[in-house]
Structure 1
Amino acid sequence: MAQKATVFKVQLQIADMDRHYYADHNLTLAQHPSENDERMMVRLLAFALNASESLHFTKGLSGETEQAELWDLALEGTINLWIEFGQSDEKWLRKACHKAKQVILFCYGGRVVPVWWKTNSAALARYDNLTVIDIPDTAVAAMATLVNRNMQLQCNISEGQIWLSDANQSVLIEPQILKQGS
């Protein structure tokens, strides 16, 4: 029998001074059995950095292969934002870039990211609507310490620095932009 996803409830308060976005979001995150806490928290961070009323999680790892794990859909079905995670291959990112107005790839994984980037940067340079962001391994590990089945988190974003906090600790995240899309 297949394992079921673990459900996490998140109350997320976002104060994004860079975008002038201030909101509270009540989220339900489903963690696929093959997904670790680090990856789930990178997904939550991606939500916080791009939050809007129309941004939402899809079925992700267990859903359709033609969907992003996190995306912003317009009412008429246009994909405004497609967000991917990990070290995606060029073919998959090309497909996403053709379907969406903007695509963001959140890389994580420490030492494998520079190797992946060196191999793929030339091919990915041609996609004007693609942004590639590396989340440092130390920050990813620190975010995983915040994991709880019921999380109450605050996310403060200013000048490219992100502070993700719960009642007991704060984590500083300083993403590195590998490629900036238009």
Structure 2
Amino acid sequence: MALPSTIYKASIQLSDIDREIYQTLQITVARHPSETEERLILRILAYLIFHEEGLVFTKGISAADEPDLWVKGPDGRVQLWVEVGLPESDRIIKASRHSEKTAILCSGKTLAKWDQQHLLKLNRLPNLLIKGLDYYFITKLVSRLERFISWSVTITEGILYLTVADETIQTPIADPVDSLN
């Protein structure tokens, strides 16, 4: 018998000053039994960093032909394809051909190695946006993860400030592509 997904509910006060987005978001997200808590946190943060009208979580890890999040137009075409973690460059190249915009929110213990292996190929894609978050920031959030998430998130000047309970932690939203130039 397969294990069921774990459901997380979140209430997030988002103030993205850089993009002038100010919203209270109520989201429900399922964590597949094979998905790590780090990846779940990264998906939620991607939802906030790339937030736009129509952005939704997909089946993700349980559907190989779908991204982690996407925006689909009224005609069913993918307007925004969002991946998290350290995806294979071939997958991103294919996604960029089938979507108007493609985005990756990178994080992981082996991010530096991933950068060396994939960024040169990915840098050629005109419709790709790559952002990165510090892995230790993610692990700190994992240590405070609960099934009912209540966060206040402010993004300003490329820095993400996240308040959970009475503690505010911060991390830059890095642009790995800049390291090539």
TM-score (norm 1): 0.92
Segments of 5+ residues of structure 2 without an aligned counterpart are none
In structure 2, the residue matched to 1:51 is: 51
1:67 aligns with 2:74: no
Q: How far apart, in 2, do the equivalents of 1:91 and 1:44 lie? A: 24
Pairwise CA RMSD of aligned residues?
A: 1.4
Deviation for aligned residue 1:45: 0.7
Can you give the 5+ residue segments of structure 1 that lack an aligned partner in the other structure?
none
Deviation digits for residues 97-137 of structure 1 (CA, Å, limit 9, x no counterpart): 00111111111113x11111111222112211112222111
SS in 2 for 1:176: coil
User: Identical aligned pairs, as a percentage?
Assistant: 28
Q: Residue type matched to 2:80 in 1?
A: L
Q: Distance in 2 between matches of 1:14 and 1:146?
A: 19
Alpha-carbon separation, structure 1, partners of 2:48 and 2:162: 10
> Following superposition of structure 1 onto structure 2, how do residues 1-182 of structure 1 map, counting pairs within 5 Å?
1-63=1-63, 65-110=64-109, 112-179=110-177
Indicate if the aligned counterparts of 1:8 and 1:149 stay in contact, CA closer than 8 A. yes
CA distance in 1, matches of 2:52, 2:101: 14
Quick one: distance in 2 between partners of 1:179 and 1:77?
Answer: 30
* Mapped contact 1:68–1:83 kept (Cα < 8 A): yes
> 1:147 aligns to what SS in structure 2?
coil
Q: Which moved more, 1:7-16 or 1:74-83?
A: 74-83
Asked whether the equivalents of residues 130 and 179 of structure 1 are also in contact (C-alpha less than 8 Å), the reply is no
Give me the whole-angstrom Cα distance separating, in 1, the residues matched to 2:100 and 2:30.
Answer: 26
Q: Deviations over 1:33-92 (max 9, x none)?
A: 1112211111111111122230000111113x2211101112222322111012211211
The CA distance in 1 between the partners of 2:97 and 2:2, in whole Å, is 34
Q: Which runs of 4+ in 1 moved over 6 A?
A: none
Aligned residues: 178
* CA contact 1:103–1:130 (8 Å) conserved in 2: yes
Q: TM-score, normalised by structure 2?
A: 0.92
- Contact 1:131/1:178 (8 A) holds in 2: no
- The answer to whether the 8 Å contact 2:42/2:85 transfers is no
